[in-house]
Amino acid sequence: MKKLLIFTALLTLALLLLAGCAGGSDPLAMSTQAPASPEPTAEPDVTPVPEPTETPAPEPTQVPAAPDADKRFTQDELQAALDAAKDFYASWFYDRTQQIDPAYADPVEYPAFETSGTQPVYPVVNPDITTYDELYEATAQYFHDPAVKAFLEEIGAQDVDGQLHVVKNDGLGGPGYVCQLDVDREPEGYGFELDYALSFEPENDRDVKVLYTFQDGSWGFSAPVETLHEFFIVLLYSDQLLTDFDLD
């Protein structure tokens, strides 16, 4: 019986040794081997960094070209300059009844002169020109000093309680004129010479001349104040006007 137990034990040991050889590993070593590390997981996708975008440079501000002292005007440009000056003259120096309160056009209630001889002034209702400085700047777009200052003094332009006032004027009336206007290129600019006569006295003609020149950074009309008045009043009351341009 004892021999049978020893034989059984030896057989069991032999079977264990054979099983270990077949697995290629030591069965005793398996109990002490560290567990295998897990397979590394894939790296998460990295969000790509966006390429920097270039901010477009702002468009350069368009600066208006400065007036050119050597500019050569076309016939249309000179005609437009003359028409603009004439319209401005008519509004402020000739017939200002539309530029002040219409009630002031009543010569009985609002006489042009007081008994003392002082010219009363009345508020201007033109919303575009509200102060003396604004009127000066507007006038200087068409005429040159010293005519500008003289014009504004004639119409009594002044600020009263923060509002522009001028002398009331009902405008001048008169017969029409027959006119010939010659516009020529001259060394200092352009000459506007007006030959005119009353329509019922064509034989009694006379002429008056103004210049269109560059001065103090702008183009404008210049002449003695009396000459400018005569020139533009005749144009305003012309029944017939022929214009000739010689710009060569």
One domain for residues 83 and 103:
yes
Angle at 227 between CA 135 and CA 175, to 5 degrees: 95
Q: Is residue 13 situated within a structural domain?
A: no
One domain for residues 93 and 135:
yes
Q: Is residue 163 situated within a structural domain?
A: yes
Q: Is residue 62 situated within a structural domain?
A: no
In this predicted model, what pLDDT tens digit does every residue of 195-214 receive, in sequence order?
999 988 888 899 999 999 99
Q: Is residue 106 situated within a structural domain?
A: yes
pTM of the model: 0.68
Q: Is residue 156 situated within a structural domain?
A: yes
Note the pLDDT of residue 138: 93
In this predicted model, what pLDDT tens digit does every residue of 209-232 receive, in sequence order?
999 999 989 999 999 999 999 999
Q: How far apart are CA 135 and CA 153, in angstroms?
A: 12
Q: How far is CA 15 from the centre of its chain?
A: 107
Provide the domain count of the chain.
2
For 150-182, letters b (16+ CB in 10 Å) and e give ebbeebbbbeeeeebbbbbbeeeeeebbbbbbb
pLDDT tens for the chain, residues 1 to 248: 555 555 565 556 555 555 555 555 454 444 455 555 556 555 556 566 566 556 565 565 554 455 688 899 999 999 999 999 999 998 887 777 777 777 777 777 776 666 666 778 888 888 888 999 999 999 999 999 999 999 999 888 999 998 898 887 766 566 789 999 999 999 999 999 999 999 888 888 999 999 999 998 999 999 999 999 999 999 999 999 999 999 98
pLDDT, the chain, mean: 80
Domain limits at 84?
75-167
